[in-house]
Amino acid sequence: MRAAVSLLALLLACGDNVPASISIQAPAAWEPTLKDFVALTPTGAISLGDDGAFRIELVEDASMPAEAYRASVVDKAIIVRAADRLGAQYGTAAALEALGFRFRHPFETYVPVTPQLDAAALDGALHAPETRVRGFQLHTLHPIESYYAFWEPSAGSTNDAHRIIDWTVKNRGNYVQWVALDDIVDPKRGDPWRAFSRELIDYAHARGVRVGLNIQLFGESNLQQAYDLADSDPAVVPLADQIAARLPTITTDLPFDVYDLSFGEFFNADPAQFIASVNEVKTQLALHAPQAELRAFIHVGADQRVDYQGENLLYYFLVKYADPAIVHDVHTTMFYNLFETASGAYHHENFHEHRDYLFAQQCAGRRPGYVPETAYWIAFDNSVPQFLPIYIHNRWLDLDQLRAQSPCPNLPLDAHVIFSTGWEWGYWLHDVTALRASFELPSTPTALVDDAFGRDLAAATQPVMALAELQRTYLHLQDLVPYVASRDVSIDLGRQLDIVSQPDRVTFADIVAGTNVDVARTKLRALAEYADQLDALAEAFYAIDFPAHSRRWAEELRDGFAIDQLRVRFVLASYAAVLAHVDGDPATARTRANDAAELMAQARTVVARRHADLHDTHGRRLLEKASEESSNRTIYQYGYLYMANILCFWQRELGQVDGILGLTSAAPPGCLLP
């Protein structure tokens, strides 16, 4: 006996109101899951039946691989075959995509004005996951969309978290993890958080999605208010007692599938203590949450080296000496990958050691994961702001080369978990393409963008991927990204202490001091080449006439191109002003400083336009300083786009230039705290 779930919809796309109907039939066992799937697909009405203008029929087929699907058109119906509910949902999403739907942003699905079936997209081929674990670590230590959705208990947060889980499924994911903060030590926060989190876990499980929680081990290396297990000196309070006191808060009646253990940044513990501490967590977790897997987060930091058992190794690699049941997740930062230059990020010239560590774990049958980033946020990309589709290419390249270069090709990458930090300014595209790539990896990254853009944005694929390649050529492989990225006061202070996160650059102060001036001139000549090619590429993009119902998405891309143009020209003008100053040409210095100010004014127009049309549905919480109504539990009391909204990094740089030219005595903003 079959049950039917029907989606009879007024399909609304960007303000258009054109009726069409789609019906989805599902076996009874899958009906509750498909109801949730349908409920979060933009519709005007849902009813039972099979009388839609387009019919999708789900067929249970036990011979299919787990989480796989086949979709084909038979007698004017779309037949989706799957063995389980995830495969059924993936196949249903593929059927809707063949009708023109695109699941782009967690809070906004593209719905075609009039669905049109692309039967060629449903050829009956087997689509099966190439990576077992596919999903996100939502970096909720930062004030991003998913922080509010997964950490601030409310009915609205529950709805948003459900939408993020649903979006993950529709983009072929099966795992969602977020980061715990330490405010839940207080029972007044912890009790409501547990009830809230339990509902999210249950909802994810009902959709077939596994759930993880990232926690930190040592409080001494906890720089961002993460929930840690050991805050006190173990000589005063035994480590086992500290862990025993903290674990129940995050395990009692909370059936997380995974606990991911992090170790902070920039600070080392004694190797023997580190290993004993990790093992103690494993032992106690087995008592408190026997159903859960323990994973360890392998961070970066080339200066954090230790000697242990005759081996000199990166501090985070000490995990390999801990309980072998612990699974290791290898991390990289920013858009850098495991195979090419890392430009000095965290003092790494490259991340080859991390790549080789992953391969060694893989060949030992330890099922390691890879956790790359799709945004870095702090003074680097979407907070500047910049649009950097280079992330799309480099996330694809990692998966392609991990497969091509693996010394143990019979043991494929087991987990690909995307470290996600915000979705505005087109950064949803980074997450969608990276997640889809871990399900089925195409031969080129262009195919991923083609798929994400669909028919309505098809004309944007070539210029966006051309921009990605241009950024690879100049910003990545010629190490120019430190110039178009920025620096806050903490980054400058860290430089004095030789603590480096993002790649370094020749600063204005260096030029005034006569340090590496020739290096700066060489870099700026290359940056000017990048700017010229970017201008030509952007002009070609602006000439595209997108369909009216897709202009909201096209405008977001347009603003990305525009802000990239303005950013590089602003940087060139600012450096030119300082170089003219040290060359003894005050007139040119002032002219170029004025040019930079005018470019910043133009950037304000672009930012205001973009921030008036966000995908986020909660007012200006991402753009403003925290208030009593919008306070958060992170160390950043503002939304993640606040610095972008006020162009703080541009103000800081122009203030530094004006100070060098003697035009102001005011201290430039720090761009760390509001």
pLDDT tens across 148-181, in order? 999 999 999 999 999 999 999 999 999 999 999 9
Give the pLDDT score at 416. 98
Q: Which of 145, 141, 178 is nearest to 163 (CA)?
A: 145
- Considering the domain architecture, whether residues 114 and 170 belong to the same structural domain is answered as no
Instruction: Tell the burial category of 429 from Cβ atoms under 10 Å away from its Cβ (0-12, 13-18, 19+).
Output: buried
Q: Is the pLDDT of residue 16 over 90?
A: no
Residue 126 belongs to a domain = no
For the chain, give the mean pLDDT. Answer: 93
Q: Is the pLDDT of residue 210 over 90?
A: yes
The string of pLDDT tens digits covering residues 651-663 is 999 999 999 999 9
Share of the chain above pLDDT 70, in %: 95
- Considering the domain architecture, whether residues 515 and 407 belong to the same structural domain is answered as no
Give the pLDDT score at 10. 30
Quick one: DSSP state of residue 272?
H
Range of the domain at 337: 133-453
- 141 versus 221: the higher-pLDDT residue is 141
- Domain boundary (425, 453, 481) is at 453
Give the pLDDT score at 17. 37
Q: Is the pLDDT of residue 2 over 80?
A: no
The string of pLDDT tens digits covering residues 505-516 is 999 999 999 999
- Region 616-625: mean pLDDT is 92
The string of pLDDT tens digits covering residues 71-93 is 999 988 999 999 999 999 999 99
- Considering the domain architecture, whether residues 510 and 614 belong to the same structural domain is answered as yes
- Considering the domain architecture, whether residues 595 and 481 belong to the same structural domain is answered as yes
Give the pLDDT score at 63. 97
Residue 484 belongs to a domain = yes
pLDDT band of residue 46 (cuts 50, 70, 90) is very low
- Region 414-441: mean pLDDT is 98
- Considering the domain architecture, whether residues 446 and 499 belong to the same structural domain is answered as no
For residue 212, give both structure tokens. Answer: 């993880």
CA gap 315, 219 in Å, rounded: 17
- For residue 106, the one-letter residue type is P
- Region 554-569: mean pLDDT is 98
- Region 228-244: mean pLDDT is 89
- Considering the domain architecture, whether residues 33 and 71 belong to the same structural domain is answered as yes
3-state SS, one letter per residue, for 596-621: HHHHHHHHHHHHHHHHCCCCCCCCCC
- Region 359-385: mean pLDDT is 96
Q: Is the pLDDT of residue 530 over 90?
A: yes
- Considering the domain architecture, whether residues 169 and 89 belong to the same structural domain is answered as no
- Domain boundary (406, 432, 453) is at 453
Give the pLDDT score at 213. 98
Residue 670 belongs to a domain = no
pLDDT band of residue 257 (cuts 50, 70, 90) is very high
- For residue 327, the one-letter residue type is V
Give the pLDDT score at 52. 63
- Considering the domain architecture, whether residues 115 and 139 belong to the same structural domain is answered as no
For residue 236, give both structure tokens. Answer: 């005063």
Residue 539 belongs to a domain = yes
Share of the chain above pLDDT 90, in %: 86
Give the pLDDT score at 282. 97
- Considering the domain architecture, whether residues 54 and 151 belong to the same structural domain is answered as no
For residue 107, give both structure tokens. Answer: 């809070």
Residue located via tokens 């959709």: 207
Instruction: Tell the burial category of 310 from Cβ atoms under 10 Å away from its Cβ (0-12, 13-18, 19+).
Output: exposed
- Considering the domain architecture, whether residues 566 and 472 belong to the same structural domain is answered as yes
The string of pLDDT tens digits covering residues 285-335 is 999 999 999 999 999 999 999 999 999 999 999 999 999 999 999 999 999
Q: Which run of H or of E encompasses 25?
A: strand 22-27
Residue 625 belongs to a domain = yes
Q: Is the pLDDT of residue 19 over 60?
A: no
Q: Is the pLDDT of residue 4 over 80?
A: no
Q: Is the pLDDT of residue 265 over 80?
A: no
pLDDT band of residue 11 (cuts 50, 70, 90) is very low
Give the pLDDT score at 227. 94
- Domain boundary (421, 453, 485) is at 453
The structural domain count of the chain equals 3
Residue 257 belongs to a domain = yes
Residue 665 belongs to a domain = no
Residue 666 belongs to a domain = no
Q: Is the pLDDT of residue 349 over 60?
A: yes
Exposure on the CB side of residue 24, measured as CA atoms within 13 A: 28
- Considering the domain architecture, whether residues 554 and 470 belong to the same structural domain is answered as yes
- 218 versus 438: the higher-pLDDT residue is 438
- Considering the domain architecture, whether residues 487 and 594 belong to the same structural domain is answered as yes
